[in-house]
Amino acid sequence: MTLPSWLPSLVWTDYRLAILFTVLMPLILLGWTLIAKADAVQRLLIIYWRVSSLLAIAVYLLIGALPVGFIAGWIARILIPVALWFWADLNEEITEQPPSRLKLSFVSWRWAVSLYCGLGAIAQVPILRCALMGTDALLKEPLCRLWLDPPWAFREAFHATTKPFFLGFLALVGLAIYVVYLGYFVMVRLGRQGRSATGQ
């Protein structure tokens, strides 16, 4: 299978946008909320970081060339917009806040990251078939292999002396913990709290 010449550039652009929208911008906003003491925005960003940790888990799964990483990354792109818009009480608090640069920046980022994740989830549907392959087949399939290049470059930059298998194993442990926590939230806490982040 011959890949289009523009596809590698698109994959790398997607990873760069992910760093911008899902790591750098929310990190800056979180620091800003701590200084400004904007409680509602801060609580929503903390919820965001808990949910978006699945993206980090997906990267480490892909470092280990574990096919489940493709599903984890795709689900993360769906869960992030849901987490950012689901909480009725926080949405109301943020809407009622007076205009400010922090509010404008947060609302702009929330729309931007939701759009990015939504379009990304749609665009990644064709590569979900990679999740159904074994590791050997995954490495031989050009399209699937292409999506492994950025996580492998990340490993070379930050974990060059650590075996990919070990990082993948740690990611599997993280995924198991994430699934247990998400299951507890959906089956227990959601029924108690509804769409209230504070449970009130």
Longest pairwise C-alpha distance within the chain: 56
> How far is residue 25 from each of residues 8, 19, 42, 45, 143, measured CA to CA in Å?
25, 9, 13, 11, 29
pLDDT at 197 (0 to 100): 83
The answer to whether 41 touches 29, Cβ cutoff 8 Å, is yes
- CA 111 – CA 93 distance, rounded (Å): 17
| Residue at 150 is within a domain | yes
- Judged by phi (left if over 0) then psi (alpha if -120 to 50, else beta), residue 37 lies in left
| Residue at 53 is within a domain | yes
When pLDDT is cut at 50, 70 and 90, the band that residue 190 belongs to is confident
CB atoms within 10 A of CB 107: 14
pLDDT at 106 (0 to 100): 98
| Residue at 152 is within a domain | yes
pLDDT at 104 (0 to 100): 97
| Residue at 199 is within a domain | no
| Residue at 198 is within a domain | no
| Residue at 162 is within a domain | yes
| pLDDT at residue 182 is higher than 70 | yes
Q: In terms of residue numbers, what domain contains 183?
A: 7-193
When pLDDT is cut at 50, 70 and 90, the band that residue 149 belongs to is very high
Domain total for the chain? Answer: 1
pLDDT at 83 (0 to 100): 96
pLDDT in tens, 89-117: 999 999 999 999 999 999 999 999 999 99
Task: Taking residues 145-165, report their average pLDDT.
Answer: 95
When pLDDT is cut at 50, 70 and 90, the band that residue 53 belongs to is very high
pLDDT at 194 (0 to 100): 84
- CA 124 – CA 18 distance, rounded (Å): 14
| pLDDT at residue 1 is higher than 80 | no
- CA 6 – CA 23 distance, rounded (Å): 25
Please give the model's pTM, rounded to 2 decimal places: 0.93
The answer to whether 183 touches 48, Cβ cutoff 8 Å, is no
pLDDT in tens, 162-180: 999 999 999 999 999 999 9
| Residue at 2 is within a domain | no
pLDDT at 111 (0 to 100): 98
pLDDT in tens, 8-38: 999 999 999 999 999 999 999 999 999 999 9
